Structure formats: C-alpha cells, structure tokens
C-alpha cells in the first residue's frame, strides 16, 4: 500500500469518526466576552419606544409573564425545537429536588469523558453536589451534568426519565429529554414557551435562583479552589437581569434564557436559534425593552372584585330562587391570576343563572366571571352561594298566610304559596 493510499485511508477514517460524534453543546467561545456597543444599546432602546415591532434574528422566541404564566409576545413559541444546554435548567430542578447538596460526588470515567463545554473534571475527582451545580449552570459543564445525573439516578437514562416525569407533572406536552446536557438528539426537544415554563418553575427554588444570578464564584475540586464565571453575557450588564442560561449546538443554534425584573413586572425571555452570540444578546435586549415599553401590570384581582361588587348591587336580587326560605347571597371563588402583564385592559364578563330551585347548598355554582385579553380567556372565577338557601317548609307557608291576613303582604306571586 502506497503512502498516498494510506494517507487517503486515514483521512476517510478521520472524517467518518468525526461525523459519528454528536454535535457538542456550548462550544469554547461561550466563555469569551460579548460586547454590545453603546450606539447599539441606544438603537435598541430607541426602537423599543416606537410602535414598530422589533426585528429579531432568532428563529423562535417567547416573552413569558411570570405573574400570569402567559406568553405575551413571541414567534413560533409552540414549535418543537432543539434546546442545547438550556436543558440544564431542568437538570438543576431534578438535582435540587432529589439530592443533598452537601453530598460528595466521585466523578466516573463516563462523566469525565463527555465532550463539549466542560468544567474540567477527571475520573475519581471529588466534588460536592453544590459545586457541581455551579459548574453546571455557570460554566455549562457537560461533565458536571453527567456526574450529577449518575449520582442522582444511577445513569443518564434514568435521570432523563426523571426529567420527563417532571415535564409531565408541569403539564408540558411538547418537551422530551434524553440527556442532562442537551447534546443534539432528535428525541431531545422543547418549545420556547415550555422552556419558559420550566424556567419559571426552576426560579421558584431559592437554590437555583441564587446560582443563576451569580456572576462568578469559587468552587472546590479535590479540595483545590477553582474560579468559574457565568457564560450569560447579559447578567450584570442589562438592568433587571437575574439569570438564567446559555446554550449552543449546531442544530439548536445560539440559545439564551433570560429572567428580568423591573418594578412589578417579571418576565422570562427565551430566544432559540440565533446565528451568533451577539445576535442572541441583541435579540434578548430588544425583547426586554419592547416588553417593558409596551406592556404594563394590570391588577386583575382588584378589577374583578370592584366589577363584581357593582354588579351585585344591581343584579343579585334579580336571580329568582323558587320556593326559597331565605335570600340568596353570592361570593367569588379565589382569583388565581392576581396580576397580569398586558398591552390592553382585560374585559370582565359576569354571567349567572336567572332561575334556580331551592334548596341550594353552600358553595353551589351560580355563575362565572370571565376575564379576557382580546379573544384569550385568561381567567374564569366561579360565583358561588355564600350560604345555604333552604326550601320553604309548612311553617314558612303558614307565616306567609299570616302576613297576608295581617296586611303585611298585600300582593304575592302564586309560586310563593
């Protein structure tokens, strides 16, 4: 075999070998600084002040209102797509809900050998679950993800089962996991909207909320200190940003999940499928500025209660309760969505029965209050009987007859007797 033939043979083997490996999540340049120039920031703020919708490079995105659990603005937000290392948000949820953070993990060869972005773990390294979580969410370490998965569930496959069980509990119908890190796989997907829902749930955990807002920290591997920095380019650089997670694979593109709070308005911005890190950063900033310029907080609970009290004054006694021994009194069930971010005042509609037979048990449904933003129903609250309404007995009829003869009642409806 000639040298030329041998060379060609090895080139073919190399190409085949590289193509057999999965695309890796969060490549090395995630750690490089992304700079948004001052004139670019000014341009983003100026465009948000106009009536024009922002021009977004990312293929899919969602602006999620944490107060109401609604997507208030988006594009293809319900389309299934790869999510890269934003997967690790769900991984973190499973870990904090199933592990003791002080436990020490011994890194396996499988965890140490995983590719992509890495914390830099080696076989038999000793590191706490807590420090691995920081390595997972700040440095986006795939080796940390696998180490935690094996520690938590015994294997990557069993850990993915836990992730999918949690997705089902959260009511996610377009999300499926096969790994804790998010390397490309056709069976590993979510949507921008459901990723926002996962993030909203994760941020309710104090441990996760604390980790994702950390810009830099010191962890310990084998007792040796190591500084790690957050890959989130907007954290500390954009007003109100307090998390959450970056991601990249060739299939997913550049991904970024960002939580922002300014005043009472708390939103999660998800951008998936951007071409560059700068694009995803600028897209997120545009969506943040657009959301805070266009949307405002509406107090749904207060508006419902005011509307209901006004309605009761006029309409409560118009509900005819046949053969009632006492009057019907109404109350509202609990209002679940207290406030909502919106760009228009919600419409409130009250509908109740006009006729009902006694007896009526306490908490019997009498009607509903429906709250709409445009054509979307965001809340339905039941109107119920505040107390029991008894059916008239013989003594009630004698009382009525007595009142008639005494002149207390001069005109009555035949249905009353």
What phi-psi label fits residue 186: left (phi over 0), alpha (psi between -120 and 50 degrees) or beta?
A: alpha
Q: For 277-304, what is the mean pLDDT? A: 96
Per residue in 323-346, pLDDT (tens digit) is 999 999 999 999 999 999 999 999
Write the CB contacts of 4 (distance below 8 Å, at least 6 apart in sequence).
none
- CA–CA dist 112, 144 (Å, integer): 8
Query: Average model confidence (pLDDT) for the chain?
Result: 89
What phi-psi label fits residue 26: left (phi over 0), alpha (psi between -120 and 50 degrees) or beta?
A: left
- CA–CA dist 186, 171 (Å, integer): 21
* DSSP code of residue 55: P
pLDDT at 170: 98
- CA–CA dist 405, 117 (Å, integer): 92
Instruction: Please indicate whether residue 85 is annotated as part of the active site.
Output: yes
pLDDT at 410: 54
Residue 100 pLDDT > 60? yes
Which phi and psi angles does 391 have, rounded to 5°?
A: -85, 145
Instruction: Please indicate whether residue 19 is annotated as part of the active site.
Output: no
Instruction: Please indicate whether residue 58 is annotated as part of the active site.
Output: no
Q: Which residue has the higher pLDDT, 292 or 410?
A: 292
Q: Which residue has the higher pLDDT, 341 or 26?
A: 341
- CA–CA dist 239, 21 (Å, integer): 40
- Nearest 10 degrees: CA dihedral of 262, 138, 22, 195? -30
Residue found under tokens 């949307």: 295
pLDDT at 4: 57
CA distances from 213 to 68, 134, 232, 240, 409 (A): 23, 11, 9, 11, 72
Q: Strand 355-357 to strand 320-322: parallel, antiparallel, or no bridges (unpaired)?
A: parallel
pLDDT at 15: 42
- CA–CA dist 417, 402 (Å, integer): 12
* DSSP code of residue 103: P
- CA–CA dist 229, 88 (Å, integer): 16
Residue 37 pLDDT > 50? yes
With CA atoms as reference, report the closest residue to 256 among 268, 238, 240, 266.
268
- Tell which CATH architecture fits domain 22-27+36-294: 3-Layer(aba) Sandwich (3.40)
Residue 72 pLDDT > 60? yes
Contact 195, 77 (CB under 8 A): no
Residue 53 pLDDT > 70? yes
Per residue in 132-166, pLDDT (tens digit) is 999 999 999 999 999 999 999 999 999 999 999 99
pLDDT at 14: 43
pTM, two decimal places: 0.85
Contact 192, 270 (CB under 8 A): yes
∠ CA 303-340-236, nearest 5°, is: 140
- CA–CA dist 305, 371 (Å, integer): 12
Q: For 377-398, what is the mean pLDDT? A: 85
Residue 28 pLDDT > 50? no
pLDDT at 12: 47
Q: For 391-400, what is the mean pLDDT? A: 65
Task: Give the pLDDT band (50/70/90) at residue 52.
Answer: confident
Q: Which of 2-11, 194-203, 348-357, 362-371 has the lowest mean pLDDT?
A: 2-11
Q: For 171-184, what is the mean pLDDT? A: 97
Per residue in 233-284, pLDDT (tens digit) is 999 999 999 999 999 999 999 999 999 999 999 999 999 999 999 999 999 9
CA 73 to chain CA centroid, Å, is 14
Catalytic one among 58, 85, 117, 259? Answer: 85
- CA–CA dist 52, 251 (Å, integer): 30
Catalytic one among 91, 140, 179, 259? Answer: 140
Residue 9 pLDDT > 60? no
How large a percentage of the chain has pLDDT more than 90? Answer: 80
pLDDT at 22: 43
pLDDT at 403: 59
Catalytic one among 58, 68, 88, 286? Answer: 88
Residue 409 pLDDT > 50? yes
pLDDT at 81: 98
Q: Which of 37-41, 235-239, 318-322, 384-388 has the lowest mean pLDDT?
A: 37-41
Could you tell me the residue ranges of all domains in the chain?
Answer: 22-27+36-294, 299-416
Q: Which CATH class is domain 299-416?
A: mainly beta
pLDDT at 416: 47
- CA–CA dist 385, 382 (Å, integer): 10
């Amino acid at each position: 075999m000639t040298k030329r033939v041998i060379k060609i043979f090895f080139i073919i083997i190399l190409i085949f070998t590289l193509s057999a490996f999965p695309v890796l999540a969060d490549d090395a340049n995630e750690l490089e600084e992304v700079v948004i120039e001052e004139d670019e920031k000014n341009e983003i703020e100026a465009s948000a002040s106009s009536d024009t919708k922002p021009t977004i490079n990312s293929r899919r995105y969602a602006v999620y209102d944490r107060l109401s659990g609604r997507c208030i603005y988006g594009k293809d937000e319900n389309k299934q797509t790869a999510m890269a290392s934003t997967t690790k948000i769900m991984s973190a949820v499973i870990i904090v809900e199933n592990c003791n953070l002080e436990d020490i993990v011994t890194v396996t060869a499988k965890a140490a050998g995983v590719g992509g972005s890495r914390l830099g773990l080696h076989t038999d390294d000793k590191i706490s679950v807590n420090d691995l979580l920081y390595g997972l969410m700040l440095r986006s370490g795939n080796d940390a993800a696998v180490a935690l998965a094996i520690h938590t569930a015994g294997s990557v496959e069993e850990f993915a089962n836990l992730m999918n069980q949690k997705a089902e509990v959260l009511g996610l119908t377009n999300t499926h996991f096969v790994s804790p890190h998010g390397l490309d796989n056709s069976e590993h997907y979510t949507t921008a909207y459901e990723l926002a829902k996962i993030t909203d749930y994760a941020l309710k955990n104090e441990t996760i909320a604390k980790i994702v807002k950390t810009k830099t920290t010191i962890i310990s591997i084998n007792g040796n200190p190591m500084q790690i920095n957050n890959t989130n380019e907007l954290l500390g650089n954009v007003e109100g940003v307090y998390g959450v997670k970056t991601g990249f694979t060739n299939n997913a593109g550049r991904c970024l999940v960002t939580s922002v709070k300014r005043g009472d308005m708390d939103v999660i911005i998800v951008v998936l499928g951007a071409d560059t890190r700068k694009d995803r950063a600028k897209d997120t900033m545009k969506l943040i500025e657009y959301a805070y310029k266009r949307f405002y907080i509406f107090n749904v609970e207060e508006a419902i209660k005011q509307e209901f009290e006004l309605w009761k004054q006029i309409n409560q006694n118009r509900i005819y309760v046949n053969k009632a021994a006492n009057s019907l009194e109404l109350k509202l069930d609990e209002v679940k969505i207290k406030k909502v971010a919106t760009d228009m005042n919600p419409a409130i509609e009250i509908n109740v029965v006009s006729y009902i037979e006694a007896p009526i048990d306490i908490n019997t449904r009498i009607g509903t209050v429906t709250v709409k933003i445009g054509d979307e129903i965001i809340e339905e609250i039941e109107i119920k009987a505040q107390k029991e309404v008894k059916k008239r007995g013989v003594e009630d009829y004698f009382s009525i007859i007595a009142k008639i003869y005494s002149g207390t009642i001069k005109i009555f409806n035949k249905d009353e007797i």
